[in-house]
Amino acid sequence: MQINAYAAMKSGDALTPFTYETQGLAPDQVLIGITHCGICHSDIHLIDDDWKTGAYPLIPGHEIVGTVIEVGNQVKHLKKGERAGVGWQCDSCGYCEWCMQGEENLCSKQQATCVGRPGGYANAICVPAHFAFPIPTALSSAQAAPLLCGGATVYSPLRRFINNPAMRVGVMGIGGLGHLALQFSHAFGCETTAFSTSKNKEPDARKLGADHFIVSNDNAVLKKHQASFDFILATTPKGVDWSAYIALLRPKGVLCIVGALETNITASIMSLVDGRKSICGSNIAGTQTIKEMLEFAARHHIGAQVETVPLTQVNEAVNRVREGKSPYRLVLEVSQ
C-alpha cells in the first residue's frame, strides 16, 4: 500500500508531502488507517533535532488513533474495522525482564514509533500489534489520541507515586501533558495544584480538577508554598529553577520530571537529604499501564481538550505548538 505522509527533510524544516510503500504485513503486525494524530511537544523536539537523533526524512506523529485496515494472522486482540491507538513506543525485545512484566518502556531495545520509522502524520501506519490498543467506545478518537502518549506519560508516575488520596499533588506546566495530569490527579482524589506560567489558564485548570492555581514564574510566590507538596510532576519542555521546586516538597516528597529536556539539574544535596526527598524521571508507560489508563480515562470521562486541524495544515499547527500558542492539544485530522 502507498502511504501518504508529511515529512521534515532536515532539522527545523517545514513538513512536505512524502509517500512511501509498506512492505506487506508481517504475522504480528497491524495496518491502521489513521483518522487522528495529536501533536505532542516531542514531535517538535524531533523536527527541530533538539535530541540530536538526526533521523531524516522524519515523519513525526505518535499519538495515533485510527481504524484497523488489516491484521497479520497471529494478531488476536484487534479486528479489521475496529478502532486502535498507537503511542510513542512501537517495539521492544519481547523477552527481557521488563517486557515480561508489561514494562516494555524500560526495555533496552525499545523502539519509538516515529524515530527511524515512519510516524503518524500520515493516512496509515503499520506497527507490531502488541503496541496497538483498542480504544474504549466512551472516548472519541480526537480526545483519545493524546492519551496514547501524553496521557500514558503522566498517568504512569501518578499511579506509581500516589499511594494515598490525601496526598497533595502539584502539576507544573499546563499544556498537553499537564492538563491530562490535572484530570488524573483529581480523579485519584488528591488535592491538586496547577503551576503555570500562564495566568489565563486558571479557569480551565480549575475545571479540569485543580483545587489551587499558582502562577509559577515568580520565585517569591513559590516561596510562600514551601514544604506543601508530596508529589510534583514537572511537564515543562524548558528548564526552570529546580531548587525552587525541591523547596516546595514536604518530607518524603518526590519531584518527578517528564519534560524531555537536554538541560542539567543543579540542586543542593542537603535539600534532598533533609526530609528524605527525591528527584526522578519517568518515560511514557508500558503496555499494561496504557491499557489500564485507557480504561480509567473512559470510566472517569478523562480526555484531552482538543482543537482539530486537517493534516494538510500541519505546518501551521506545528508552529503553533512550537510557539506555545496552541490549545491544550492540537490534533491532526486525516481524511481517509
Q: Would you tell me which residues interact with ligand NAP (CB under 6 A)?
A: 40-42, 45, 149-150, 153, 173-178, 196-198, 201, 235-238, 258-260, 282-284, 321, 324
Give the residue with the Cβ less far from ligand NAP, 34 or 284: 284
Cis peptide before 57 (omega within 30 of 0): yes
User: Shortest gap between Cβ of 20 and ligand NAP (angstroms)?
Assistant: 25
* C-alpha to C-alpha distance for 28 and 100, rounded to whole angstroms: 17
Grid cell 491538586 is found at 192
Cβ within 8 Å of residue 43, ≥6 positions away: 60, 61, 62, 114, 119, 121, 318, 321
Grid cell 491499557 is found at 291
CB under 5 to 8 A by kind: which of ligand NAP, Zn ion, none does 252 bind? none
User: Shortest gap between Cβ of 182 and Zn ion (angstroms)?
Assistant: 18
DSSP symbols for 158-220: HHHH---TT-EEEEE--SHHHHHHHHHHHHTT-EEEEEES-GGGHHHHHHHT-SEEEETT-HH
User: Shortest gap between Cβ of 257 and ligand NAP (angstroms)?
Assistant: 8
CB under 5 to 8 A by kind: which of ligand NAP, Zn ion, none does 324 bind? ligand NAP
Give the residue with the Cβ less far from ligand NAP, 77 or 159: 159
Give the residue with the Cβ less far from ligand NAP, 41 or 277: 41
Q: Is 89 in the site for Zn ion (CB under 5 A)?
A: no
User: Shortest gap between Cβ of 86 and ligand NAP (angstroms)?
Assistant: 14
The footprint of Zn ion on residues 25-64 (CB under 5 A) is 40, 42
Among 142, 149, 257, 317, binds Zn ion (CB under 5 A): 149
User: Shortest gap between Cβ of 239 and Zn ion (angstroms)?
Assistant: 19
DSSP symbols for 7-56: EBSSTTPPPEEEEEE-----TTEEEEEEEEEE--HHHHHHHTTTT-----
User: Shortest gap between Cβ of 113 and Zn ion (angstroms)?
Assistant: 9
Give the residue with the Cβ less far from ligand NAP, 123 or 326: 326
Across the chain, which distance is largest between two alpha carbons, in Å?
61
Total number of residues binding Zn ion (CB under 5 A)? 3
User: Shortest gap between Cβ of 204 and ligand NAP (angstroms)?
Assistant: 10
User: Shortest gap between Cβ of 132 and Zn ion (angstroms)?
Assistant: 16
CB under 5 to 8 A by kind: which of Zn ion, ligand NAP, none does 140 bind? none
Q: Hey, which residues does 169 pair with through a beta bridge?
A: 192, 231
Helix axes 150-161, 287-299, angle to 10 degrees: 90
* Angle value at C-alpha 176, between 85 and 115, nearest 5 degrees: 55
CB under 5 to 8 A by kind: which of ligand NAP, Zn ion, none does 271 bind? none
CB under 5 to 8 A by kind: which of ligand NAP, Zn ion, none does 11 bind? none
CB under 5 to 8 A by kind: which of Zn ion, ligand NAP, none does 283 bind? ligand NAP
Cell of 52: 540530536
Give the residue with the Cβ less far from ligand NAP, 92 or 196: 196
CB under 5 to 8 A by kind: which of ligand NAP, Zn ion, none does 192 bind? none
User: Is the separation of the CB atoms in 122 and 6 below 8 Å?
Assistant: yes
DSSP symbols for 299-316: HTT----EEEEEGGGHHH
Give the residue with the Cβ less far from ligand NAP, 6 or 328: 328
By the 10 Å C-beta count (0-12 exposed, 13-18 middle, 19+ buried), 209 is classed as buried
Q: Name the site residues for Zn ion (rule: CB under 5 A).
A: 40, 42, 149
